[in-house]
Each structure stands twice: as structure tokens, then as C-alpha cells.
Structure 1
């Protein structure tokens, strides 16, 4: 596995986007499939520490699996020090699908910018259609992006992404891991509708809840060995 770190800057939005790109050990190969991953939320307190490690560097167990199977694994950082509109100031009593929409919108714009930069820096990557995923708020960003650009997403892989609704009539395959210490908001999983108006006709949605998982425990820092094995084995089954 080859890792490249890029500190991207979107001039139009005056926005830094740190990016970790993990490439498979393959030479002279074109159209390398891509998994674009959005990590969980990182607080201003964490970002202000002198020894801060960005969350985009905290999912190497996924990077190892995907690069070992011929994929490029791309993880981007969404939160930056100085952001004043994050989860710390969002009213938790409000419907979170709406209250967090500005974070999802910014995340979607980050993804669009990163895709264009990948085309420039890594022309051998297949970026017209890719696996998209994320953990917690990052997974919600992935769903929000898929709502707007579904034709660019081959599969969604979500790690306890509990807030953002998915449009029920999208033609998507979704693998979602939950955790026993959290609950998915009502409305995130679309209802089936009626016989005359089936709302989930084209959605293939698989939900797995490992018994020893926790909401925060899907990153390198906290994931138990047995949960990591279950996540990898389930992803392998899902992508066959």
C-alpha cells in the first residue's frame, strides 16, 4: 500500500481539504476502482491540540483491505480549526437531518472538489463512478452526496450514519453498520410505501449491527478486533 498525503485548497471557497490517498501496489494499471471515504466528525477541541491527527488518517484498517483488493482508498478531512458552525453549536433538540444540512452541503462540495483534484493528480483512478462511504457524520455526508449525484455512486458503505435521510427512489446498493449504543433517526430508513407506490423498489439496503460495536468504535482508535473482522468480512460479501 502506498500512501500519499495532499493538503488541498479550494480557492473558490477559501477552504483547506487535507486528503489521504492510499494506492494498491499495482503498476501500469488504468481505471483503478476508488472508495471515497468521509470520516466521523472532529471537534474544534481536538483540532486545536498541538499533536492533532486528522480523522482522515484513522481508518487504515479499511485502507489496508481495499488497497489489498485493488482499490484506491481516498479519505478526506471535512472539519478544520476555526469552523464555527459545527456540531458543537447545533441544537440537538432540532430534527438533525435539517439542522446539519449545511455540514452535508459543505461536505458534498468537498467531495466534488476532491474528485476533480484526483483526476489531475491520479489520472489512473476511475472517478466517474466509485464506492462512497463514511462514518457517523461522514456517512451522512455520503448519503447527502448520493441524493444529489446517484449516477456517480456504485455502492454506499456506511458506519453508523444515523441522521441524513436517503431519497427512497434512488437505484442504490447500501451496506449500513449500526451500533447497539446508538439509534438511527426515524425517517433515515425510508418506509416501503404502498403496492401502487413502492418507495424502496430500487434500494437494496443491508443493515448489520455487530453486538460488540459502539458508535465511535468504527475507527482505528477504538474498533475491537472481532468487530473489525466482521466489518471486513461483511464488506467482502457485499461487494461480491
Structure 2
């Protein structure tokens, strides 16, 4: 009986220590480092520029999760993988290895703005989905220590449509999907992966893109309205708007 009690006490102390250690790790803010790299997909003869935002630390972060971020439409001017740094840097400061993909190249066709956009933009989303898959497979070769069992995809607007398409096509590769006001590609109706979406106050989504109330309850999907304009979900947002979006994203990432 004494032995059993001792074991229980020791186990309790150990579990408490683990809980505190996890909490301290989550609350810690790392210094963030930025690197850039351009992948080349020979099968599509396509360059894929990426920006890596990651915590600067001499110690290995066990089970470090990876986040792939996908920007909104930037009219092919380039540099879009930097304009959400308020979020990508915040994620890296919390210990996530964050990859921001530059999906548009100056040589690409412009995104259609008239007609049935769910059909006409599908090839552009497919291109983005293919970019995500290529980058993911390359990272598995060069950074095998990352946690690929819990891949997180985040995307704003057109990038959210890309991320939604990827999740529909490769649900077994995605742990969580967070879209920021994607408007055209329907969100997967599933409880695994977990699906969250942050909505703007000025642009509605096309019919069928968002789950209805019954689907939200059935699949535990989160549709979160905000008071933020669609165009303020990148670095153009105010400090308060950026904090709101960061807080929502970090809350979703912490959910089990």
C-alpha cells in the first residue's frame, strides 16, 4: 500500500511538471529568423519561392509543427510571401516552423475576375495546391525532424481557396486548416482535419463555400465572423486587427 501511494505521488509530481513545462513552452516567445529559398519543380518547369520563418534557438524543439501559409492574390507582382509577417513571425515566435509560399510569378496569367469564378479560378488553385505538395515533399527530405503528422495550412483569400482545395484533395496530409476569408472554394465538410475560417465584415463567400449551422455542429467546424475588412487581413491591418487575427489563430492551434 505504501509502495502504491509513493508511486501515485511520484506520478502526480511528474505529470504536474510536464504540464508546467508544456505551459511554459507555449508561453515563450522565441527570436525569429527569416530565410528565403527558391524550389524548382521540374515536372511543371516552375520556380516556387518560399520564405521560412522559424524560431532562433540552439535547442531542438521536440515535435516541432510545420505551418504552410498561403497569401492572397497580389496581381503577380511578387513579394506576397512577406506581407503577412505580423502572423508568420508571431507563429514562428511560438515555436512553429512557418513556411510562406510565393504562389504567383510575374509570368503567370492574371486571375480571372469575371464569369463563373469557381470554375475559371480552379486551375490557379490547383497550381497552388501542387505548390504546397511539392514544398511539403521537399521539406520532408531536407528537414525530416519536423512533425509532418500535424501539418497546419493557413491561407488568406485566394490563398485560402488554394489551402481548401489542397485539404479536399489530400485530407490525410492535413491536421488543421485555417482560412482567412476564402470566398470561392468550398471548405471540406469534415471533423478530421479540423477546419476553421475567419470571416471579414465586407465580403460574403459564394454559396456553398461555408458550412451551414447543422454542418458546423456535425463536423465541429468553426466559422468566426470578425469586424475586419477583407483587405486588412495582411500587414495593412491595424495593430488591433492584427492582434485579433493572431489571437484567433493561436487559439485554434492550441485546441486538441
* TM-score normalized by the length of structure 1: 0.85
Q: Contact 2:216–2:222 (CA<8 Å) still a contact in 1?
A: no
1:25 aligns with 2:39: no
Aligned residues: 222
When structure 1 is superposed on structure 2, of 118-127 and 55-64 the one drifting more is 118-127
Question: In structure 1, the residue corresponding to 2:226 is in which secondary structure?
Answer: coil
**How big is each residue's C-alpha offset from its partner over 1:103-125, in whole Å with a ceiling of 9 and x where there is no partner?**
11111110111011112332322
Q: Contact 2:61–2:95 (CA<8 Å) still a contact in 1?
A: no
The structure with the largest helix share of the pair is 2
Question: In structure 2, the residue corresponding to 1:24 is in which secondary structure?
Answer: strand
RMSD across aligned positions (CA): 1.9
The corresponding residue for 1:230 is 244
**How big is each residue's C-alpha offset from its partner over 1:211-239, in whole Å with a ceiling of 9 and x where there is no partner?**
2x11111111x111111111112222222
Unaligned runs of 5+ in 2: 1-31
**How big is each residue's C-alpha offset from its partner over 1:100-150, in whole Å with a ceiling of 9 and x where there is no partner?**
110111111101110111123323222243110101000010000000111
Unaligned runs of 5+ in 1: 48-52, 194-198
**How big is each residue's C-alpha offset from its partner over 1:54-103, in whole Å with a ceiling of 9 and x where there is no partner?**
1011111112221121111110011101112x31xx25231x22221101
The corresponding residue for 2:20 is none
Task: Extract structure 1 runs of 4+ deviating beyond 3 A.
Answer: 190-193, 199-202
How far the C-alpha of 1:192 sits from its partner, in A, is 6.1
Aligned partners of 1:40, 1:166: CA distance in 2, in Å? 17
Superposition map of 1:62-101 within 5 A? 62-84=87-109, 86-87=110-111, 90=112, 92-94=114-116, 96-101=117-122
Aligned partners of 2:248, 2:61: CA distance in 1, in Å? 27
The corresponding residue for 1:11 is 42
Superposition map of 1:153-168 within 5 A? 153-168=174-189
How far the C-alpha of 1:202 sits from its partner, in A, is 5.3
